[in-house]
Structure 1
Amino acid sequence: MADPAPSLPLNIPDKPILATAQVIDLAEVAARRAEKFGALIDTLEAGVSKRAADAAESLARAGFDPKDQTAARDKAAAVARREVVANSSDARWAHLKELSAAADSLATTAQLWANPVTVLSRSGLGTPERTAYMQQLEGSGVVELRNMAAFAVASGNKVLGAALVSVVDRMPARSRPFSAQDLADRLVGEETRKVQDAIAAVKLAAQRAIVRNREWEAGKVRPLDRVKLALNTTKE
């Protein structure tokens, strides 16, 4: 008996699907949370700097050499940073978890908004309108299909566009009267890019906060993290 054909796993993240407005709202919320986290780090850094400056000033008033003042400042800063890092851990990670959760919640949405064709293809799924369009388009010639595509764009009819994409997708590539990508871009391209930009903004806000936190804990810049962040910012 022949071995059964292996089944191909579906790459379906177990996250909820968010609508356009929800994704854009989430991006705005993430931006505010990232800003709030940045303000927290600024406050913590100001506290460390104050303790370091106080230590140097104390030695200055006592008449110590500038070299000793610098050493005292650096030592006080190191001690203060260790203490503040430990004491602020819960507060900082609460912010980071919120941002990471926001980014993680977009897994399914990102997959379903990967490109305009994917978005257009699900317009009107299961509706009588799409079914009727499919029946009417079956057997249509190249000229008729091209004309219907022009009508779909002119009227903004996404359901008709989805039916057209479904029909031409079954045709040989060289026989297709129009580009499904071009039709989808004209009908849902702008909306798709808005959602993609919002998703990227949420992920970037989380990444920026993580990098800021790592640098603050270490008390120094992390060049590799900054390069990765810059690359992702450019992609956005």
Structure 2
Amino acid sequence: MATIDFNTVPRVELLNEERAQYLSDRAAETATAFSRKIEKLQATALEARDKYSREADDIIASAASEDRAAARAFAKKAAANKAANIHRNLIASSEADRAAMLKGLQDYAAEAAAIACVYASPATMLGRVALGDPKRTHLMQQLEGAGPVELETAARTAIMTGDLVLGAAIATVIDRRPRDRRPFCVQAFAERLLGEIWKRMTDKLEGVQLAYKSAVAADREFVRGKADGITNLSLALSRQAITEVDDEII
């Protein structure tokens, strides 16, 4: 049996689509603010580098022809050192703010991942509907001894009327039976009943984690002074996948 470290499971306020939407909105706001901050820092560093580069060009141009090679080496090195110092100062001065914003995004991402584990599939999502509700308990008791035809009729009724409580009761009753005694696949039933809701919610949760990963990548790019091509490609593919899911839902 696999060992589960429940200490890694965070506490969450709600386990529903509204909470997923809240996390999505907050993560988007924080990620946007973080992106703007990084862009401003990078613009400052670039402006300083261009300034020092122009100063180096002036020094080189003013040098005598016989001294130009030495002036070029000196001026370019000095410009590079000045730009590097500005970059280091920007990293240090913005570290606290960047860390705080990343921590907020990390917390949102951790909660989104925890919720996604609970709603790993439409079937698990359906299984959580109306837990502890007397109506669900009563329906389960009624369906406990039902045959295939009765269960199929109940399933059709749940789909046509959008009765998620009835659907949850049916799914639980069937899931408790041996596989060779199940009249139909619970996953297919759950997919038909609330598959679109599950996809929409999963999309939001994945978007939260993508926002955090993108911010981390942008922060590393700023600190290093260069981009990570593989990471950026992976994030771009993730964004494309989420966009395609959005288009399918719409």
In the alignment, residue 53 of structure 1 is paired with which amino acid? D
Q: CA deviation at 1:43?
A: 0.8
Whether 1:161 and 2:167 are equivalent positions in the alignment is yes
The number of residues matched between the two structures is: 231
Distance 1:25 1:163 in 2: 29
Out of 90, 110, 116, the residue aligned to residue 104 of structure 1 is 110
**Per the alignment, do residues 54 and 228 of structure 1 end up closer, same or farther by CA in structure 2, a change over 3 Å counting?**
same
Tell me the residue number matched to 1:20.
Answer: 17
Which of structures 1 and 2 has the larger relative contact order (alpha carbons within 8 angstroms, sep 6+)?
A: 1
Distance 2:41 2:2 in 1: 53
TM-score normalized by the length of structure 1 = 0.86
Distance 2:2 2:219 in 1: 43
**Per the alignment, do residues 7 and 98 of structure 1 end up closer, same or farther by CA in structure 2, a change over 3 Å counting?**
closer
Greater share of helix: 2
Higher mean C-alpha displacement, 172-181 vs 198-207 = 172-181
Tell me the residue number matched to 2:28.
Answer: 31
Q: CA deviation at 1:234?
A: 5.5
- Counterpart mapping for 1:66-105 below 5 A: 67=72, 70-105=76-111
Whether 1:61 and 2:67 are equivalent positions in the alignment is no
CA contact (8 A) 1:15 1:107 kept: no
Unpaired stretches in structure 1, ≥5 consecutive residues: 1-5
Unpaired stretches in structure 2, ≥5 consecutive residues: 63-67, 243-250
Q: CA deviation at 1:224?
A: 4.1
Secondary structure of the equivalent of 2:103? helix
Distance 2:131 2:108 in 1: 28
CA contact (8 A) 2:10 2:110 kept: no
Distance 2:240 2:50 in 1: 38
Distance 1:18 1:142 in 2: 32
Tell me the residue number matched to 1:40.
Answer: 37
**Per the alignment, do residues 11 and 233 of structure 1 end up closer, same or farther by CA in structure 2, a change over 3 Å counting?**
farther
**Per the alignment, do residues 215 and 190 of structure 1 end up closer, same or farther by CA in structure 2, a change over 3 Å counting?**
same
1:86-121: CA deviations, max 9, x gaps? 111112112111111111223432222111111111
Q: CA deviation at 1:232?
A: 4.2
- Identity of matched residues, %: 33
**Per the alignment, do residues 14 and 51 of structure 1 end up closer, same or farther by CA in structure 2, a change over 3 Å counting?**
closer
